[in-house]
Amino acid sequence: MKRSFKGLKGGAPNDSYDAVIIGAGIGGLICANLLAREGLRVLLTEQHYMVGGYCSTFRRRGYTFDAATHFYPLLGNSGTITGKLLQELGIRTEWVKMDPVDHFHFPDGSSFSVPADFEPYLAKLKREFPDEANNLDQFFEVVREVYLLGLLCYFRGHDTDRLGPYRDMTVREALDRSFRNEKIKLLLAGDCGHWGSPPSRTSFVFDSMLRLSYFLGNYYPRGGSQAFADELARRFEELGGQILMRSLVRRILVNKGSACGVEVETEAAGGLESLRKLRPSHPCFLTYFGLRDMPVEVLREAEGYYWDSWDSDQVATSAFKIFVPTLFEPALAPSGGQIVIVQKLTDLDYEAMIDWTAHKLTIEQYIITNLERRIPGLQEKIAVKLSASALTSHKYTLNHHGAMLGWEMSPDQLGSKRPDVVGPIKNLYFVGHWTQPGGGITPVIVSAMRAAEMITRGRNVAPVEAAALAGANADELNPRQSG
Ligand SMILES: Cc1cc2nc3c(=O)[nH]c(=O)nc-3n(C[C@H](O)[C@H](O)[C@H](O)COP(=O)(O)OP(=O)(O)OC[C@H]3O[C@@H](n4cnc5c(N)ncnc54)[C@H](O)[C@@H]3O)c2cc1C
């Protein structure tokens, strides 16, 4: 695949930099751009031969598959903090808006599509569940409030007592409190697979933030995930940054308690002891299909989350998701071809796993059997098929246990209970989904903005994105008003 950026290609890096960033995931790439834009001399190191981490793609026989991420909330909407940031950084990625946003297929064979605008969504819910109309109004009233308070607290660092009743609440508790009907509860948690944890262990505050952000636009990058990551890398080089590919940073060099390089093992590990008590999110198993001669309408119908249980806490055993990227970007497949990607959370003991091959075959078989039920004749149309387990995720991105979203996004692992952007030693900062505010593209970008701001704040340059981070009008972020 032709890269739109050069990378150092084995050439020697400079003797010194103002900042070294380890890992070219979206967190590292955004932070690298922000620092380079402020005139810092920045080196970005990446152990893989591609940038993007969980936002990369791979190719097989003419088909281009997103390795992991496929929903990019807000990024195509320049009226939002993160959409505006990309525009200000000069990122030229084009975004395809998703409408409907999601589909759910229930155990009784019924299904529900989520429209891209909030009012039609709420009206549709009320039509489907007329007895729950009042409960729905009350529930979304709370969701809206929590969404704004959550943004203030977790994204902008302004804590407020008003968040008190909701801070420790899980999605499950919020739904049980508001509804009795099992179907509406599953519908409102039907997409919980993207949290990498069941609703009883997922923060209601973060779920509310994501739920409403979809109505400000949910996007897919033209050209696939790699096109976005490559564009970030290209722009970073244009700003004078350097990228060192295929370079695993094994140690961080520390001098007088301050991080100053990336070669020698540091004593920083002592400061990271508390991390061992945190739980990682589940890994996500993926099977990638390149199809021939499959009618697009069949796939449009088949897209979405499938549930075999009414209990959304069974997400790692009784649910999977079908995503069809060629509905948004046909150029990812050869002419007449389609791509189907199936995602399934897995609940496994990573350390105890002995036979990864057998594990892979078992889950793959489960997926194929289920797909064949939903898309009869699928097997005859397969031109390419590959699967990725937790081991594969770890191999390509080094994510601990192949976790999908960093530390689980449960209330007891958020805020100050999650590792801070500021590391335990001077000049060491963390970005990405293992740090605050959390996992998913939007929180990861926010972590990069925070780190860049902290790094540049002490220097004689304007704070990066301080205005965007602190000054966005809450109403601008309220999907009800923005439609
Ligand atoms: C299957 C799946 C689907 C997902 N879908 C979505 C979605 O639709 N929408 C959404 O918002 N989020 C989604 N997510 C979550 C999202 O992808 C992640 O939260 C986000 O991409 C994490 O970005 P990051 O920068 O923290 O790290 P990563 O993407 O993990 O990148 C880390 C990078 O650092 C490199 N690296 C690590 N250690 C070293 C080292 N020592 N030396 C050099 N390089 C190193 C790795 O190779 C990698 O490139 C999904 C995740 C998965 C697994």
For the chain, which residues make up each domain, given as ranges?
16-56+73-94+222-278+408-482, 114-216, 284-388
Kindly give the distance from the C-alpha atom of residue 225 to the centroid of ligand 1, in angstroms, as a whole number: 12
The pLDDT value recorded for residue 9 is: 64
E strand residue ranges, 23-70:
42-45, 57-60, 63-66
Residues with Cβ within 8 Å of residue 113, at least 6 apart in sequence:
100, 102, 103, 104, 304
The CA distance from 47 to 167, in Å, is 37
Kindly give the distance from the C-alpha atom of residue 387 to the centroid of ligand 1, in angstroms, as a whole number: 18
Q: What ligand 1 atom has the least distance to the C-alpha of 284? A: 1
As assigned by CATH, the class of the 16-56+73-94+222-278+408-482 domain is alpha beta
Q: Which helix (H) or strand (E) holds 356?
A: helix 356-374
Kindly give the distance from the C-alpha atom of residue 54 to the centroid of ligand 1, in angstroms, as a whole number: 4
The pLDDT value recorded for residue 178 is: 97
pLDDT at position 67 over 60: yes
pLDDT at position 342 over 70: yes
pLDDT tens digits for range 141-173: 999 999 999 999 999 889 889 999 999 999 999
Q: What ligand 1 atom has the least distance to the C-alpha of 48? A: 47
Residues with Cβ within 8 Å of residue 116, at least 6 apart in sequence:
97, 98, 99, 100, 101, 214, 215, 217, 218
Q: What ligand 1 atom has the least distance to the C-alpha of 433? A: 26
The pLDDT value recorded for residue 264 is: 26
User: Whose Cα sits closest to atom 46 in ligand 1?
Assistant: 397
Average pLDDT over residues 29-43: 97
pLDDT at position 269 over 80: no
Q: How far does Cα 396 stand from its chain's mean position?
A: 16
User: Whose Cα sits closest to atom 39 in ligand 1?
Assistant: 23
Tokens of 342: 């199936």
The CA distance from 199 to 195, in Å, is 9
Pocket test for ligand 1, best of 29, 46, 54 (most atoms within 8 A of CB): 54
Of 118-132, 262-276, 335-349, which gets the smallest average pLDDT?
Answer: 262-276
pLDDT at position 74 over 70: yes
The pLDDT value recorded for residue 251 is: 87
Average pLDDT over residues 461-467: 32
User: Whose Cα sits closest to atom 10 in ligand 1?
Assistant: 440
pLDDT at position 222 over 90: yes
User: Whose Cα sits closest to atom 34 in ligand 1?
Assistant: 23
β-bridge partners, 287: 342, 387
pLDDT at position 472 over 50: no
Kindly give the distance from the C-alpha atom of residue 405 to the centroid of ligand 1, in angstroms, as a whole number: 8
Kindly give the distance from the C-alpha atom of residue 38 to the centroid of ligand 1, in angstroms, as a whole number: 25
Q: What ligand 1 atom has the least distance to the C-alpha of 432? A: 26
Pocket test for ligand 1, best of 26, 69, 389 (most atoms within 8 A of CB): 69
The pLDDT value recorded for residue 469 is: 30
Kindly give the distance from the C-alpha atom of residue 68 to the centroid of ligand 1, in angstroms, as a whole number: 8
Burial of 451 from C-beta contacts in 10 A (0-12 / 13-18 / 19+): buried
The CA distance from 197 to 110, in Å, is 24
pLDDT at position 463 over 80: no
User: Whose Cα sits closest to atom 35 in ligand 1?
Assistant: 23
pLDDT tens digits for range 9-34: 656 788 899 999 999 999 999 999 99
Q: In which band, very low, low, confident or very high, does the pLDDT at 267 lie, cut at 50, 70 and 90?
A: very low
Computed over every residue of the chain, the mean pLDDT equals 90
Number of helices (H) and strands (E) in the chain: give both, helices first.
16, 17
Q: In which band, very low, low, confident or very high, does the pLDDT at 483 lie, cut at 50, 70 and 90?
A: very low
Average pLDDT over residues 65-69: 97
Average pLDDT over residues 327-349: 97
The string of DSSP codes covering 160-177 is: -GGGHHHHT-BHHHHHHH
pLDDT tens digits for range 361-378: 999 999 999 999 999 999
β-bridge partners, 473: none
pTM for the whole structure: 0.91
Q: What ligand 1 atom has the least distance to the C-alpha of 23? A: 34
Q: Which residues line ligand 1 (CB under 6 A)?
A: 22-28, 45-48, 53-55, 68-71, 194, 248-249, 284, 286, 343, 393, 397-399, 404-405, 432-433, 439-441, 444
Count the residues in the chain: 483
pLDDT tens digits for range 108-119: 999 999 999 999
